[in-house]
Amino acid sequence: MKILHTSDWHLGRTLHKVDLHEHQAVFLDWLVDLVEAEQVDVVVIPGDVYDRAVPAVSSVTLLDRALARLADTGATVVLTSGNHDSPERLGFGRSLMRGGIHLLTDVPGIEHPVTVEDEHGEVLFFGLPYLEPDRARTELVAAGEEPLARSHEAVTRAALDRVRERAADHPGARTVVLAHTFVSGGEASDSERDLTVGGVDSVPAGVLGGIDYLALGHLHGCQDLTRSVGAPAWYSGSPLAFSFSERHHRKSVLLVELGAPGTAAQVRRIDTPVPRRLTELRGTLEEILARRDEHAGDWLKAVVTDPARPAHLQEQLREAYPHLLLTEYAPEGREAREGTPVVRREQNPLEVMDEFLAHVTGGAPTEAEHDVLERAYSAVRRQQEAS
């Protein structure tokens, strides 16, 4: 059986205020073509389909179109909700879904796997939506029982106990579990929302063993946790980069081949389309501008290190790099100062302005700059005297 594992689409996301809708549409078109070309049997999507609980209409339309096209390929689609999704909104209409689209977005759904058969028998696909501990600790126990401990480990362990009990009713069946969580040993980036509860944000890897394939969602870097989990376990990662901390990621989807019972799943990474590279350049303004031929088409983060802040810094960078997203001024060779200069009551206001300008730019005001400050101060004084 061929399984395509992809996650963390974050439809509706922006990158430093740049709308990624068109790039996400290109990815989804590419994904449908890949499913057809590889004759994929099942597509699994473990959460964070949307970037926010109340998605924009354009994002809803994009997902609707993608799911319809995936259904037309003949593949079964199994989708769970992540910590960015609203399980109720994402799961709306799940009882009406046809054509192999399965939305497993609530706790009761954990005990109702999607069953797909191949020449080796049944494969059970269990969907664990993001289990928010404050809510899931009561949903995962019977009425009248004490709530579970308030932790990701407790609720995930309880959910997987239900999975294993249900799987035991199908001797010889293979199991695939979709789980949106942070597994210990995974490598995070700064674009993921913190899951910390009670000072702990992760689930111990050992809790997740005994499964034929664990399709993980939440972390945006593609990574293999098979060794720490003790069973085939992967994060597919996000298909696009959502922060400069991900600029070195190799964005991928995973093609998983599940063989006969008792054989290990085979996993192949397939690179996703890169709409535009993310690049961080550090150096003096002159050094950064000298690299425009190589990086003019990139989304850019510029870290400028001139001892004194260059005049018209943003304008010069924007002219050379039309896709500039972020500028940081980090002068080298200057001692770090905490806060702004202290203002003494007896100081001349012009001295205060000169000191502040020097603090901001890293260099003493030029004669022309001082003249501008002096004229501005004189104009304010005249206005005050006139009133």
The answer to whether 234 touches 267, Cβ cutoff 8 Å, is: yes
Quote the CA–CA distance of 269 and 257 in Å, as a whole number. 12
CA 320-323-324 angle, 5° bins: 75
pLDDT at 88: 78
Residue 139 and residue 230 in one domain: yes
Quote the CA–CA distance of 285 and 200 in Å, as a whole number. 42
pLDDT at 27 over 90: yes
Residue 344 and residue 302 in one domain: yes
pLDDT at 264: 93
The answer to whether 245 touches 208, Cβ cutoff 8 Å, is: no
pLDDT at 335 over 60: no
- Tell me which of 82-96, 138-152, 308-322, 372-386 is least confident: 82-96
Quote the CA–CA distance of 91 and 234 in Å, as a whole number. 24
Q: Average pLDDT over the chain, rounded to whole?
A: 90
Angle between helices 367-386 and 349-361 (to 10 degrees): 140
Residue 216 and residue 294 in one domain: no
The 3-state secondary structure of 200-262, one letter per residue: ECCECHHHHCCCCEEEEECCCCCEECHHHHCCCEEECCCCCCCCHHHCCCCCEEEEEECCCCC
- How do beta strands 174-180 and 278-283 pair? unpaired
pLDDT at 199 over 60: no
pLDDT at 98: 63
pLDDT at 337: 53
Quote the CA–CA distance of 43 and 127 in Å, as a whole number. 12
**Mean pLDDT, to the nearest integer, of 111-135?**
94
pLDDT at 197: 52
Domain that residue 287 falls in? 278-386
Residue 88 and residue 222 in one domain: yes
Give the pair of three-digit tokens for residue 290: 């000298």
Residue 162 and residue 25 in one domain: yes
**Mean pLDDT, to the nearest integer, of 319-330?**
95
Give the pair of three-digit tokens for residue 318: 């924007």
pLDDT, tens digit (0-9, with 9 covering 90-100), for 67-82: 999 999 999 999 999 9
Higher-confidence residue: 181 or 361? 181
Number of domains into which the chain is organized: 2
What band does 343 get if pLDDT is binned at 50, 70 and 90?
A: low
| Residue where one domain finishes, among candidates 271, 290, 316 | 271
What's the Cα-to-Cα distance from 332 to each of 102, 272, 284, 309, rounded to whole Å?
55, 38, 9, 11
Residue 326 and residue 255 in one domain: no
| Residue where one domain finishes, among candidates 244, 271, 298 | 271
pLDDT, tens digit (0-9, with 9 covering 90-100), for 131-176: 999 999 999 998 888 999 999 999 999 999 999 999 999 999 999 9
pLDDT, tens digit (0-9, with 9 covering 90-100), for 276-319: 999 999 999 999 999 999 999 999 999 999 998 898 999 999 99
pLDDT at 194: 67
Residue 35 and residue 160 in one domain: yes
pLDDT at 196: 65
Q: How many residues does the chain have?
A: 387
Residue 341 and residue 251 in one domain: no
pLDDT at 184 over 70: yes
pLDDT at 200: 53
pLDDT at 103: 92
pLDDT at 218 over 80: yes
pLDDT at 341 over 70: no
pLDDT at 97 over 70: no
H or E, element range at 270: strand 266-271
3-state helix, strand, coil in the chain (%, to 5): 35, 25, 45
Cα atoms found within 13 Å of the Cα of residue 67, Cβ hemisphere only: 22
Quote the CA–CA distance of 349 and 386 in Å, as a whole number. 19
| Residue where one domain finishes, among candidates 229, 251, 271 | 271
Number of H helices, E strands in the chain: 11, 17
Residue 111 and residue 217 in one domain: yes
Residue 262 and residue 299 in one domain: no
CATH number of residue 85's parent domain: 3.60.21.10
Residue 351 and residue 208 in one domain: no
What band does 236 get if pLDDT is binned at 50, 70 and 90?
A: very high
Higher-confidence residue: 186 or 199? 186
Residue 34 and residue 125 in one domain: yes
- Percent of the chain exceeding pLDDT 90 equals 69
